[in-house]
Amino acid sequence: MTNRFTSGNAALALKVIGTVLILSFLLDFLILLLPFQPTDRAWQINLSTALVDRGIVPMVGLGSLLIGYWIDGASDGGPKGIDLRFPAFILSSVLGLIFLLIFPLHLNNVNQAKAQTVSQITQEADQAEGQLKNQLNQFQAQLNTDQGKAQLEQLRAQAKAQFSDLLKDDQKYKQALENPQLPQSQKDLLKKFKANPQELDKFIAQQTDPQGLANQRLTQIRQRKEDAEKQARDNAWKSGLRIGISSLLLSVGYIIIGWTGLRGGGALQTGGRKAAAR
């Protein structure tokens, strides 16, 4: 009597747990559909990702539910209450079909989103390069005038005077090297200028050369473009691999559970009639 009472409580608890897990997933599914934007690729990607991430929850619920009915079936009294196995198997088959459709749909959406992102990155980089070239042309046009050349020479002279004053004053030079807020790269430059004053002239000439600065800026733009494109491809590859394989595995699991149960539906109904007859 005690064993039957214990098995009955265990079966009831498993049924309740399974039902709650399944209903919670269905509620999440309805919430994820809002706002409903089926033509939005980003919405489709987010929905697929969220469903796959939660996909194991109803499978655990189905497992708990079926184990609960199995415990009931193993007892003398047979299954008690409303038999939810048949609708559970139908739900499992439907979920299997949904996750099977997610697999190619998500891969296609991710690839299209990646192509769009890469195209946008390329367009922005081209615009930045165009603006840089226009600025360079304008600046070079100014330097071709006597006033522009004079301003450039004045700028170089001021920069050299500031560095020279620092390098000649040993106390200021030492304080600059001991300053924790000064980057190590700048400290290395100061040491380099101190050891060889001609390096200071080269450095100032490089830093005030419009073409050289434009080339550095162009290199930075192209490097950022390559990094952004690589990140977009990596994110698409990781998302496609993770969500695609997970959805495929979930689909196989749900289809096996659903179709196995539906093929044995006759046995379930027969067992239910026998239990009712007793």
What does the DSSP 8-state code read for residue 208? Answer: T
For residue 146, pLDDT over 80 is answered with no
Measuring CA to CA, how many Å separate 213 from each of 125, 140, 145? 17, 12, 20
pTM of the model: 0.72
**144: pLDDT strictly greater than 60:** yes
**pLDDT tier, 203 (very low <50, low <70, confident <90, very high otherwise):** confident
Give the model confidence (pLDDT) of 92-136 as tens digits: 999 999 999 999 999 999 999 999 999 999 999 999 999 988 888
Q: Round to whole Å and give the CA distance between 106 and 244.
A: 7
Identity of the residue numbered 252: V
Q: Residue 273 has what pLDDT?
A: 44
Distance CA 80, CA 51 (A): 32
- Residue 16 CA to residue 4 CA, distance in Å, equals 18
d(CA 199, CA 7): 88
Confidence of residue 275 (pLDDT cuts 50, 70, 90): very low
Domain segments of the chain: what residues?
Answer: 1-114+249-264, 128-224
Q: Using one digit for the tens of pLDDT, what is the confidence trace for 38-77?
A: 999 999 999 999 999 999 999 999 999 999 988 887 765 5
CB 113 within 8 A of CB 43: no
Dihedral angle of Cα 63, 65, 66, 71, to the nearest 10 degrees? 120
pLDDT at 272: 47
Helix or strand (DSSP H, E) at 12 = helix 2-32
